[in-house]
Amino acid sequence: MTYLTELLRQVMGSLLRNKLRSFLTMAGIAWGITSIVLIAAMGDGFKEGQHNNMKSLGENLVIVFGGRTELQAGGERAGKRIRLNYSDVINIRQEAYLVRLVAAELQGNVKATSPHNSGSFDTSGVEAHFTQIRNIPIGEGRFFTENEEKGGERVCVIGGAVKKQLFGMRTGITGQKLSLNGFPYRVIGVMADKQQNSSYSGLDEKKIWLPYTAMTRDVPPPAPRFYSPGLLDEILYQPKSLSEYEAAQRQVKAIIARAHQFNPADQSALGMWDTVEDQKQVDGIFDSMTVFLAFIGLVTLSLGGVGVMNIMLVTVSERTREIGLRKALGATRNRILTDFLVEGCVLAFVSGVVGWSVAFGLSSSLKLVKMPDMFPGLPVRAETTAVAFGFLTLIAIVSSLIPAWKAASLTPVEALRDER
């Protein structure tokens, strides 16, 4: 404890003897640490915002669309239109062991009329477990059950924008009656408000959700779409494991290819929106940007290390006679080396703590402000702190070692003869 107190006293003495130089040196190191921490936090913040954006659809979600073949297969010519069918969902559910959940979706448009207003809205017919794949938060009431879906019950869930147009600011909407294309439906749920920055078929808050069986019966696709029983617009699924999402994708494509007689290698036969792959690509972009900008911060930190070396060399020059006296009184070379090395490291770490505190303070302040989902703030993570102080440790040791070595190499006679 006495040794540490003495070191702190020596550090303070060095700082006070060279106030301006000490301030500039500490400011350089503090700014370097602040830059590294904030840059890494910014990258983490944007990645978290992108994750939130993708979660507005659903986590680890893959959406499959029908396409048009460009390769010949099974005697079929290229250019064949692939139209997904509910039988594809059944086949995936039975055979794709790498898929955790799969759901069907049929889209349409209905004329909805309430006792207060009317309008035309996009409509999706889905299965009851659809909300386990897609993020459809319910603010009032509930989503329909499997029995209601299988039985074709005339129940519906409406988005916030639909509710506002049909019922205004009224509350207690569940149980209210709606006429959808002339058929009587009962509202059993209202979606909660949510931020949604991406979609594949329109914003959820502007939709009406129906049981799939009721949708196929009451709101079938129009004739120009070559309607056939079981026709779907999309198939949605989640892989069981993120590590095997590519294998799950190949499995799903092979199952659909067999049923529709096209080559599984045909890239145009099916369209796939893989949010897992999208997220990896976005993370890679932000990681690359963060590494590049953090390197710039590391250069700034290195320049601060040069300042530490400079101020420690000045300290050695000013304390040459003191070093000679300590050696004459029995101080060993290793003791002098350790003292000056630790002194330089303490100077660097005090500056680093100040810089980290500034970054953490800014991060904490942003938590008090409502931030957009795309950029929720500047999260200062333990990993970022460890990396920043790891670099600081390396730079502090390197920048302090040369002055410390110079001080330890002085002989008592040379040091005591110095007249500075």
- What pairs with residue 231 in β-bridges? 85
pTM for the model: 0.67
Each residue of 162-191: pLDDT tens digit?
999 999 888 888 999 999 999 999 999 999
For 220-232, what is the mean pLDDT?
Answer: 68
CB 102 within 8 A of CB 92: yes
Q: What percent of the chain has pLDDT over 70?
A: 79
Give residue 411's pLDDT. 67
Give residue 392's pLDDT. 78
Under 8 Å CB-to-CB from 199, ≥6 apart: which residues?
57
In angstroms, rounded to a whole number, what is the distance separating the alpha carbons of residues 265 and 263? 5
CB 25 within 8 A of CB 349: no
Of 46, 208, 236, the C-alpha closest to 122 is: 208
Each residue of 360-417: pLDDT tens digit?
888 888 777 776 666 667 788 887 788 788 887 777 777 777 776 776 676 665 655 5
- Helices and strands in the chain, H and E counts: 12, 10
Q: What band does 2 get if pLDDT is binned at 50, 70 and 90?
A: low
Mean pLDDT for the chain overall? 80
Give residue 200's pLDDT. 79
In angstroms, rounded to a whole number, what is the distance separating the alpha carbons of residues 168 and 14? 72
- Three-class DSSP category at 357: helix
Q: Does the pLDDT of residue 318 top 70, yes or no?
A: no
Under 8 Å CB-to-CB from 165, ≥6 apart: which residues?
117, 119
Each residue of 117-168: pLDDT tens digit?
999 999 999 999 999 888 888 989 999 999 999 999 999 999 999 999 999 8
In angstroms, rounded to a whole number, what is the distance separating the alpha carbons of residues 271 and 399? 57
In angstroms, rounded to a whole number, what is the distance separating the alpha carbons of residues 324 and 161? 82
Q: How far is CA 337 from the centre of its chain?
A: 46
Q: Does the pLDDT of residue 195 top 70, yes or no?
A: yes
Q: Where are the alpha helices (DSSP H) in 261-411?
A: 275-318, 320-328, 333-367, 382-409
In angstroms, rounded to a whole number, what is the distance separating the alpha carbons of residues 191 and 157? 7
If one counts every other C-beta atom within 10 angstroms of the C-beta of residue 364, the result is 12
In angstroms, rounded to a whole number, what is the distance separating the alpha carbons of residues 299 and 304? 9
Q: Which two tokens stand for residue 246?
A: 């590519």
The residue extents of the domains of the chain are: 2-55+280-417, 68-98+243-268, 99-239
- DSSP state, 56? T
Side chain identity at residue 283, one-letter code = D
For the ranges 112-126, 220-234, 273-287, 322-336, the one whose mean pLDDT is highest:
112-126
For 239-268, what is the mean pLDDT?
Answer: 88
Under 8 Å CB-to-CB from 333, ≥6 apart: which residues?
327, 408, 409
In angstroms, rounded to a whole number, what is the distance separating the alpha carbons of residues 327 and 336? 8
Which of 88-92, 199-203, 219-223, 415-419 is predicted least confidently? 415-419
In angstroms, rounded to a whole number, what is the distance separating the alpha carbons of residues 291 and 299? 12
Each residue of 30-70: pLDDT tens digit?
888 888 888 888 877 777 777 666 677 777 889 999 888 88
In angstroms, rounded to a whole number, what is the distance separating the alpha carbons of residues 404 and 97? 64
Q: What band does 418 get if pLDDT is binned at 50, 70 and 90?
A: low
Q: How far is CA 208 from CA 120, 126, 193, 201, 333, in A?
A: 10, 11, 14, 12, 81
Each residue of 290-306: pLDDT tens digit?
777 677 777 777 777 77
